[in-house]
Amino acid sequence: MKQNQIGESELKVSEICLGTMTWGEQNSERDARLQLDFALDHGINFIDTAEMYPVPPSARSYARTETFLGPWLAQQKRDRLVIASKVAGPGRRDWVRGGRTELTRENITEAANGSLARLRTDYLDLYQIHWPGRNVPMFGETRFDPAKEASAVPILEQIETMAALIKAGKIRHYGLSNETTWGVCEFVRLAREHGLPPPLTIQNAYSLVNRMFDADLAEASFRDKMPLLAYSPLAMGMLTGKYAGGAKPPRARLAVYADFGERYKRERVAQAADEYCELAQSRGLSVTEMALAFVRTRWFVASTIVGATDLAQLKQNIDSVKVELDAETLAGIDAIHRRYPSPSA
């Protein structure tokens, strides 16, 4: 499988990254090991996790995904893998580190040490801030609301903490996630101003039904050499065809977790997904292949994060790297996008 260099760093990652957020909720530890072995055998060297996983998050399952990954990782040749995890940001989750979720120096360090212990490794290749600690629209919200302003840990303190973790050898690089253009630029500005390492990557949602990254975030990505790690490229299953025509498969994530993934349950998302399914079929493709191949064509994407609940799904996701979209298919995608511009954003 092709590997892409991340920015100007020494990290080279497979163009498909194995996502892990179902492990511990929809998948057992045995399932996780099977997926890991299968991914490794098919050229994937990049694995993404988080202290918050599995999702939907709960006190019962907190950090279980890293706990599943750790014993497997301890048996591997560590330098052949790129392991990424994330520190949870502030939120109403008192069960995360006893409620210590503000992005302070002490809390980030505690979170990193916890992830290292669970993952049974001495270092993380990439450590990401899962979501900003300040007032920003997130997870399907699109409007910034000044009325929600509250005190937040300064960005400089977050950068200094990541720099200290790098110096201590606990992480090699750090990145951002669910971040805005202003946030990207401010992290980079402050890092340069203070002679500290800037963030290496940004991990945001990106798919046929969420192309918000195409505009100002893409410019920031280009100018600051910060590629995208694209998550939810299949829009939580909406771009697999299993929900086509209003179907509700009983074991599917959006059916099992009624209060989860609201942004993907909007009427226009379903309408757009149905049209993408029809286009893919007319081009002799599955919509899964088309959706993943499309994300891979974006110049700002370093790796596409895929998740699966069984090996058949994972195989189909990995096999998508064999698909190249022709000009007619790309034109059809753009036509649908003009009718349904980022309905899940």
Mean pLDDT over 325-335 rounds to 98
- Please give the C-alpha separations between residue 326 and each of 40, 241, 257, 273, 331, in angstroms, as whole numbers: 29, 21, 36, 20, 9
Q: What is the full DSSP assignment across 35-87? A: HHHHHHHTT--EEE--TT-SSS--TTTTTHHHHHHHHHHTTS-GGG-EEEEEE
The band of 139, judged by pLDDT with boundaries at 50, 70 and 90, is confident
Please report the pLDDT score of residue 315 as a whole number. Answer: 97
What residues does each domain of the chain span? 3-237+299-324
Residue 314 has pLDDT above 70, yes or no: yes
AA letter at 317: N
User: What pLDDT shows up at residue 106?
Assistant: 98
Residue 87 pLDDT greater than 80, yes or no: yes
Q: Is 53 a catalytic residue?
A: yes
CA distance 118 to 209: 35
Cis amide prior to 54 (ω within 30 degrees)? yes
Peptide bond just before 71 cis, omega within 30 deg: no
Asked if pLDDT for residue 23 goes beyond 80, the answer is: yes
- Of 112-126, 190-204, 245-259, 282-296, the range with the lowest mean pLDDT is 245-259
pLDDT reading at 255 higher than 80: no
What is the pLDDT at residue 302? 98
Q: How many helices (H) and strands (E) does the chain have?
A: 11, 10
CA 175 to chain centre: 11
Q: What integer best gives the mean pLDDT of the chain?
A: 94
Please, are residues 320 and 297 in contact by the beta-carbon 8 Å criterion? no
Mean pLDDT of 37-61: 96
Q: Distances from the Cα of 242 to the Cαs of 26, 171, 250, 253, 288, in angstroms?
A: 17, 39, 11, 11, 10
Count Cβ atoms below 10 Å from residue 138 Cβ, excluding itself.
Answer: 13
pTM of the model: 0.96
Backbone angles phi, psi at 18, to 5 degrees: -85, 115
> If you ran DSSP here, which 8-state letter would residue 27 be given?
B
Whole-number Å distance between alpha carbons of 223 and 71: 39
Tokens of 5: 């260099």
Per-residue pLDDT at 258: 66
Mean pLDDT score, 153-157: 97
In the prediction, which pLDDT does 69 show? 98
CATH, domain range 3-237+299-324: 3.20.20.100
pLDDT at 141: 80
pLDDT band at 143 (very low <50, low <70, confident <90, very high): confident
Q: Which of 53, 62, 206, 243 is flagged as catalytic?
A: 53
d(CA 252, CA 206): 20
| R_g (Cα) of the chain, nearest Å | 19
Residue by residue, DSSP assigns 303-322 as: EEEE--SSHHHHHHHHHGGG
pLDDT band at 55 (very low <50, low <70, confident <90, very high): very high
Share of the chain above pLDDT 70, in %: 98
